[in-house]
């Protein structure tokens, strides 16, 4: 899954992107999430590779 922080917790973004706080997910900023939403259609398969 790709996700960002909740809007009321956006002040935490600078800290949350510094380490792997998501278990198997990709964490992005709210601005990056809005960009992804604008470019990638819903239902697009996502493969996360290590």
pLDDT for the residue 48:
76
pTM: 0.61
| pLDDT value, residue 4 | 76
Residue 43 has a pLDDT of 92
List, for residues 2-50, the tens digit of each pLDDT value.
877 766 666 666 666 666 666 777 878 788 889 999 999 999 998 877 6
Residue 7, C-beta contacts closer than 8 angstroms, at least 6 positions apart: 30
**What's phi and psi for 33, nearest 5 deg?**
-65, -40
Domain ranges of the chain: 2-39
pLDDT at 33 (0 to 100): 87
């Amino acid at each position: 899954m790709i996700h960002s922080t909740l809007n009321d917790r956006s002040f935490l973004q600078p800290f949350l992107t510094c380490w792997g706080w998501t278990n198997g997910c990709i964490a992005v900023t709210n601005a990056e999430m809005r960009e992804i939403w604008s470019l990638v259609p819903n239902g697009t398969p996502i493969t996360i590779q290590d």
